[in-house]
Amino acid sequence: MDRLVAKKRELIERLKEKRTALISRTVTRGLPPASASAVGFPENPPLKSPGLDWLGDIPKHWDVTRLKYAATRIVDCPHETPIYSQDGEFAVVRTADMILGALRLENVYRVDAEEYKRLIRREPVIAGDVLYGREGERWGFAATAPASPVICLGQRMMQFRTAAHYSSRFLMWQLNGRSVYAQGAIDTMGSTAPHVNVETIRNYWLTEPPLLEQAAITVYLDSETAKLDALLGKVGDAVERLHEYRTALITAAVTGKIDVRSEVAA
């Protein structure tokens, strides 16, 4: 069982790597040929080098921009510990609540109305804003804010509100790609407490496809990552079941519920 669990954990890591590679390639090279053709975009567009090592070659008809030009609002969280309330009405998103491209709010911390007003004094979080973790072991994860529940930023978090020419979901996916992570990693090298400076984040280089192509890429990544997430969930469930069976087996053996005399005799 231990060997089987180890193999499944290896599979989980490979699926996570595949997910990251899928995101990274699509936001810098565009849709794969079959998907591009299906929505009326060139299957293999000519490439160009924007002269930025972390982006590599990009489609010739794409532009590049900086985050500060793709967003109308760039907001850092208040640098103070929220006063949490178990029965609070409002959710506080922390880096611990994020994975690449999604929020996990099952165990989210909460605050009451008074604390919520204090935490949003710089800017309230609205549906579609991009949330980004810039500190700690889970820095570099991005997700978009949902319409419900109403949330606010916890420590180590930032929010971006995109300009009209830039898709919030496309920005979110690009922030989760390797090309942007590499730019932030410059600030974190050798640090035991990773921390990316706001000015570095404001000046992240991004690809800028035409808006319609941004939308098509977003639809594709939403669909493909959902498939991988479903598979990751199934493998994770299998690991949990194996752990439960292992524990039950040990308990049964040490409490005499399994006859092990033949093993002793052998």
- Mean pLDDT, range 158-163, rounded to an integer: 96
pLDDT of 89-130, one tens digit each?
999 999 889 887 888 888 899 999 999 999 999 999 999 999
CB 143 within 8 A of CB 175: no
Compute the mean pLDDT over every residue in the chain, rounded to the nearest whole number.
90
Q: Domain extents for the chain?
A: 1-47+210-266, 63-208
The token pair that represents 211 in the structure block:
């808006």
Report the percentage of the chain scoring pLDDT > 70: 97
Q: Does residue 263 register a pLDDT over 70? A: no
Q: Are 56 and 178 in contact (CB under 8 A)?
A: no
With 0.85 as the threshold, say if the pTM is over it. yes
Which phi and psi angles does 105 have, rounded to 5°?
A: -105, 15
Whole-angstrom distance, CA of residue 118 vs CA of residue 219:
36
Q: 73-77, 164-168, 246-250: lowest mean pLDDT where?
A: 246-250
Please report the DSSP string for 96-110 in residue order: GGEETTEE--TT-EE
Nearest alpha carbon to residue 225 among 12, 14, 13, 19: 19
Question: How confident is the model over 206-257, as pLDDT tens digits?
Answer: 999 999 999 999 999 999 999 999 998 898 888 889 888 888 888 888 887 7
Tell me the C-alpha to C-alpha distance, in Å, between residue 51 and each of 44, 54, 63, 159. Answer: 21, 9, 12, 28
The CATH number of domain 63-208 is 3.90.220.20: yes
